Amino acid sequence: DARVTQTPRHKVTEMGQEVTMRCQPILGHNTVFWYRQTMMQGLELLAYFRNRAPLDDSGMPKDRFSAEMPDATLATLKIQPSEPRDSAVYFCASGSPTGDGYTFGSGTRLTVV
Amino acid sequence: GQQLNQSPQSMFIQEGEDVSMNCTSSSIFNTWLWYKQDPGEGPVLLIALYKAGELTSNGRLTAQFGITRKDSFLNISASIPSDVGIYFCAGQAQGAQKLVFGQGTRLTINP
């Protein structure tokens, strides 16, 4: 089965540290999304890319968050410096050019202490 | 911005019962999707709907795309223990890439 791979699965870090989360989209998928999930806010869209170009990152706090796609097989989400309120599960999802739904990864559970 | 209201927020049912949940929107969507999330995993696509009025089944799951294009429902018949999880609706507007998600319905099944 084709799947979206996210690393790491879990990350515990101290406040102020840099955090980098990685995502390998499904081969052939040209759209990549980053979502954040918390109990209070549910699933929030942070940013997404199409054909590696950023289309919308309005959901992302710009001062500390950055998202990139250095190549078609890798998307990264970086937080610098991290804060306790960033604790959440971060999901990457990828979509095919035909647009028939998106496939989510298993997520990165981030805890900032 | 676009918002989806999903209800109920949680359901506690007996095994074997049927389940119904729905989503409504303040704006029109061209695609409705239903996802299920198991603990510790990402949401998994259950059913995709592309046309107003469309009724689609996937095993014991049935979903419909509302005629107004502002709502959708998901039914699960004869629930079993593995149906436990959080169900999310998601809408996609015409020409948009991103999905707007509902807040989820948490389903708990008593054996």
- pLDDT surpassing 70 at residue B2: no
Give A71 to chain B, closest Cα distance, Å: 20
- pLDDT surpassing 90 at residue B95: no
CA dist A95 → A47, A71, A79, B104 (Å): 14, 16, 24, 21
Task: Go through chain A and tell me how many residues it has.
Answer: 113
Smallest CA–CA distance from A36 into chain B, residue: B42
Give A63: exposed, middle or buried? Use CB within 10 Å, 0-12, 13-18, 19+.
exposed
Tokens of B36: 């299920």
Tokens of A24: 């390998």
Q: How many angstroms from the chain centroid is the CA of residue B27?
A: 17
Tokens of B56: 């689609």
Share of chain A above pLDDT 70, in %: 98
What is the rounded distance in angstroms from the CA atom of residue A8 to the CA atom of residue A17? 16
Residue type, B28: I
> What pLDDT sits at residue B104?
94
Mean pLDDT of A45-53: 93
Mean pLDDT of A89-98: 92
Average pLDDT for chain B:
93
Contact B47, B60 (CB under 8 A): no
> What pLDDT sits at residue A57?
87
Give A94: exposed, middle or buried? Use CB within 10 Å, 0-12, 13-18, 19+.
buried
Give B38 to chain A, closest Cα distance, Å: 10
pLDDT band, residue A59 (cuts 50/70/90): confident
Contact B44 A104 (CB under 8 A): yes
Contact A93, A35 (CB under 8 A): yes
